[in-house]
């Protein structure tokens, strides 16, 4: 019972520590999504060339961080004529290069991990593109397109189809207009609604692992006593840990902090963070979207790209002497105290309350009900609300 209470206390304290960072990340993400339209993205991704992959990466980074929504939107782009590999690049960027992930990494793990995410993300996308080009044949793509056209339900299709961006005016005019403030509030609470489950699961699992699993176990499991082997082992075991924990998107950052404190290598943390797209529920969704054969190919290619890119970033950051020497990730404090975290939490809770009023007055609850509908229905309702 003591350990159970300790796990709950740790989870609650971590939730308090990251609350303002999540609010800030979701707010910045909502502003970007309001100003950047997804309406014509599929037309910008006609092939797997450098221009299309770059466009997919930039547009993905400006999209939602929800892994399920990213997968649904990637299929939508593919069905509308976008290249399959470019659609996968968009999906990778949507979960690994978004602003809310960066803010959370900075708060919990430090600037080195935030920088590593931005360095490793593009490397991972390039590796993924190269491998898919080498492996995937036209007949496999035709089979994947036929399966995608069946439009089997996955998760968050409605979320993926919603485009509430403001089309006219400068960036400042878009986000400060009445239409823009409505869209920001809707995107803000849509992100909270779609991710709170993963965040809660990540916090609870992190608390349990920190309270029940001794550090000596993690040090042995991650070969912490053998520095060279640990650097090679971490990037390849990190994704497998992610697969079995079922935590995706920004919800895996608190758990990454626990693993880092436990002894996993720098590259292992990155590989664990990258692996939110190969958890078991998403692999099943890929099977529904593209067929079993393509789902198996995606798992192998994604896993290899995640591990190799993490290994490459570890080498780069070792050469630059940017890898932290002390494992002191701020995953918790002894208690919730009056400090800068408390002040920031109060400020962002006030901002959230202000946006909640706008959200409720502009049909926000109705919009949330449409997030799991079919893309056509959700998009139509979204436009109606707007």
* Per-residue pLDDT at 348: 94
376 or 197: whose pLDDT is higher?
A: 197
Q: Is the model's pLDDT at 319 over the cut of 50? A: yes
How confident is the model over 38-70, as pLDDT tens digits? Answer: 666 778 888 999 999 999 999 888 876 678 888
If pLDDT is split at 50, 70 and 90, which confidence band does 252 have? confident
* Per-residue pLDDT at 384: 41
Q: Is the model's pLDDT at 208 over the cut of 80? A: yes
* Per-residue pLDDT at 271: 95
Burial class of residue 304 in the structure, from the number of CB atoms within 10 Å of its CB (0-12 exposed, 13-18 middle, 19+ buried) = middle
* Per-residue pLDDT at 99: 85
The mean predicted confidence, pLDDT, of the chain is: 86
Kindly report the pTM of this predicted structure: 0.84
């Amino acid at each position: 019972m003591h350990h159970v209470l300790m796990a709950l206390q740790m989870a609650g304290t971590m939730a308090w520590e990251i609350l303002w960072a999540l609010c800030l990340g979701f707010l910045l993400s909502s502003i970007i999504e309001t100003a950047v339209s997804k309406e014509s993205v599929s037309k910008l991704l006609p092939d797997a060339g450098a221009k299309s992959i770059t466009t997919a990466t930039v547009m993905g980074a400006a999209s939602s961080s929800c892994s399920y929504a990213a997968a649904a939107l990637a299929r939508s782009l593919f069905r509308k004529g976008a290249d399959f590999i470019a659609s996968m690049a968009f999906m990778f960027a949507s979960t690994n290069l978004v602003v809310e992930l960066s803010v959370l990494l900075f708060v919990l793990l430090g600037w080195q991990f935030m920088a590593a995410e931005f360095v490793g993300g593009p490397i991972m996308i390039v590796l993924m593109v190269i491998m898919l080009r080498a492996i995937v044949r036209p007949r496999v793509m035709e089979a994947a397109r036929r399966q995608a056209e069946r439009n089997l339900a996955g998760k968050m299709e409605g979320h993926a189809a919603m485009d509430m961006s403001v089309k006219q005016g400068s960036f400042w005019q878009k986000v400060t207009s009445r239409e823009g403030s409505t869209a920001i509030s809707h995107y803000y609470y849509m992100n909270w609604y779609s991710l709170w489950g993963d965040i809660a699961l990540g916090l609870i699992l992190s608390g349990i692992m920190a309270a029940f699993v001794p550090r000596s176990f993690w040090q042995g499991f991650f070969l912490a006593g053998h520095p060279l082997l640990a650097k090679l082992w971490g990037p390849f075991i990190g994704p497998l840990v992610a697969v079995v924990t079922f935590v995706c998107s920004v919800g895996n950052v608190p758990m990454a902090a626990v693993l880092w404190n436990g002894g996993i290598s720098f590259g292992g943390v990155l590989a664990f963070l990258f692996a939110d797209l190969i958890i078991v529920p998403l692999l099943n969704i890929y099977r529904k979207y593209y067929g079993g054969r393509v789902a198996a190919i995606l798992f192998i290619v994604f896993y290899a790209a995640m591990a190799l890119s993490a290994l490459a970033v570890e080498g780069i950051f070792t050469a630059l002497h940017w890898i932290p020497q002390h494992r002191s990730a701020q995953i918790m404090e002894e208690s919730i105290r009056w400090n800068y975290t408390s002040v920031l939490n109060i400020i962002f809770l006030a901002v959230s309350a202000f946006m909640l009023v706008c959200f409720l007055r502009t049909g926000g609850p109705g919009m949330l009900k449409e997030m799991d509908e079919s893309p056509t229905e959700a998009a139509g309702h979204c436009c109606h609300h707007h």
